[in-house]
Amino acid sequence: MVKQSINFDRSNLPQSVFNVKTVKELECKAIDTLGITMYELMLRAGQACYELARAQWPEARHWLIACGHGNNGGDGYVIARLAQAAGINITLLSCNSSSNLVNQEANMARNAWLSAGGMIYDPDIIWPENIDLIIDALLGTGINRAPIAPYNHIINMINAHCAPVLAVDIPSGLMANNGITPGVAVIANHTLSILALKPGQLIGKARDYVGVLHYHDLGLAILLTNIKAPIIRYSEQDLVRWIKPRRSSMHKGDNGRLLLIGGDLGTAGAIRMTAEAALRSGAGLVYVLTHENNVTPILTARPELMVDILNEKLLKKALAWADVIGIGPGLGQRKWGQKALKIVSGNKNKKPMIWDADALNWLARNHDNRQNRIITPHIGEAARLLNVSISEIENDLIYSAKTLAQRYGGVIVLKGAGTVIVSETGNVVIIDVGNAGMATAGMGDILSGIIASFLSQKLKLIEAAYAGCVVHGATADAVCHQRGMRGMLATDLLKLMWQFVNPETEITEKFQI
């Protein structure tokens, strides 16, 4: 049974994201510097999960708690004891009902449950009929392979049941570092991330399994603020970092001269969407070079654009005029587009650029490394750029993005459910907005236009990538909130984009918008 919850408000989540190894180091640092025992951390984690469960499902009177052999299972025993003390009926399944658990702390939690009169059942029992909440405390963040028996059996039982599911730290079977599922995984309604966010809760297959993501720092906020995170999570709340109010005296030239190149026969829509997205996100002047058959239709649809025929003479003139260059949407693979790419890629061209779509297919065959460029591959394009299989990209999105940055330079925007952005310096950002409604034609063209527009408005490459991706995903979330995911069109974003490209400081009390 598919159990999914959509939550567009993730403002309560921290920006910092840590891999599993670093989280373990954080736990050890808490023990060493603050004098907190590992068992105390387990008690805090169990208390946090219990309180979340009571808040989300106050009417639930019979909980099934599935406990594994490690500290995640220990958290489950703490939850069970607290819930039973509050008068809730508990059915607790354990994969290690008659043997010691892996860690001393987990054994202490189990013994406390037994001392409180709790019962432990084997995984193969017949489940009671009146279960109205399931707590997944099976595997946690430490696994690196597909779940085996009896875990896979319990996971399948959880997914087949109609009761809502709360996952402790991460849904069992979902890998915490990369968001992949090598086997079965728990489909949770809610997940409580403990101590720190992990990449696998945000990227890859995470959104299919995590549900609504919550966070608890276990009272270690002071410790966490003094540690630099290896990965940063950006969302809608961060737009004010990059998009500043405009000066009242600004004119169109101050907001950049943007050249966009693309749109072969039959693909005028791609470059037109890119161009309008650039205008809608604030570019001052947008000049499109495209196939001659596209000029009139594009001008008719969007007269604010400047549009001309793509040929060598006009291209060289336009390159001299432009502040920023975007190439690729609808460009195709014919000699017409190949020649344009060769000219644009000339060594003398040091202006900020964004390459997308067909430009990336050309780049995969004609490798170069440059610092003045953003590339925006999806997973399939990334596989071609690195000459590997799609599964290799999916198995480690962060590593793949880093490898792309090393090979091609500049800024990499590896698009997906949890877009990963990496610069050649190795800084990693996860964009935590967007939804599955974006899995439709033209969305990448819209993104390219937004990023190109921010480049033309004098944002640095990395800032334009961050801001563009957040605006893109946040706008799609607004569309989804109004209409749902299915049937979302790329052009639907154009109508709502103004909400996210204008910081609050631009809207005064004088104007009621």
| C-alpha 1, offset from chain centre | 24
d(C-alpha 219, C-alpha 216), whole Å: 8
Supply φ then ψ for residue 246, to 5 degrees: -85, 150
Q: What is the pLDDT of residue 98?
A: 57
Q: Record the pTM.
A: 0.94
List 499's β-bridge partners, or say none. Answer: none
Both structure tokens of 391: 């599964």
Answer for the pair 76, 107: CB distance below 8 angstroms, yes or no.
no
pLDDT, tens digit (0-9, with 9 covering 90-100), for 46-74: 999 999 999 999 999 999 999 999 999 99
- For residue 505, the model assigns a pLDDT of 53
Q: Which residue has the tokens 């009242």?
A: 248
Helix (H, G, I), strand (E, B) or coil at 499: helix
Residues 6+ apart with CB under 8 A from 353: 324, 325, 326, 327, 344, 372, 373, 374
Over residues 223-243, the pLDDT tens digits come to 888 888 999 999 999 999 999
Q: What is the pLDDT of residues 273-321, one digit of tens each?
A: 999 999 999 999 999 999 999 999 999 999 999 999 999 999 999 999 9
Give residue-wise pLDDT tens across range 313-337: 999 999 999 999 999 999 999 999 9
Q: Mind listing the pLDDT tens digit for each residue in 388-406?
A: 999 999 999 999 999 999 9
Q: Environment class of residue 76 by beta-carbon count within 10 Å: exposed (0-12), middle (13-18) or buried (19+)?
A: buried
Residue 307 · residue 290 · CB < 8 Å: yes
Report whether 26 contacts 196 (CB < 8 A). yes
Percent of the chain clearing pLDDT 90 (strictly above): 85
Using alpha carbons, list the distances in angstroms from residue 77 to 148, 171, 191, 377: 22, 17, 17, 45
Instruction: Determine the residue type at 500.
Output: F
Mean pLDDT of the chain: 93
**pLDDT for res 222:** 83
pLDDT of 87-144, one tens digit each?
A: 999 999 998 755 677 789 999 999 999 999 999 999 999 999 999 999 999 999 989 8
For residue 336, give every residue at least 6 positions away whose Cβ sits within 8 Å of its Cβ, in sequence order, or none: 264, 291, 310
**Sheet containing strand 165-168, strands side by side:** 89-94, 62-67, 133-137, 165-168, 190-194, 212-216
Mapped onto helix, strand or coil, the DSSP state of residue 208 is helix
Question: In which band, very low, low, confident or very high, does the pLDDT at 1 lie, cut at 50, 70 and 90?
Answer: very low
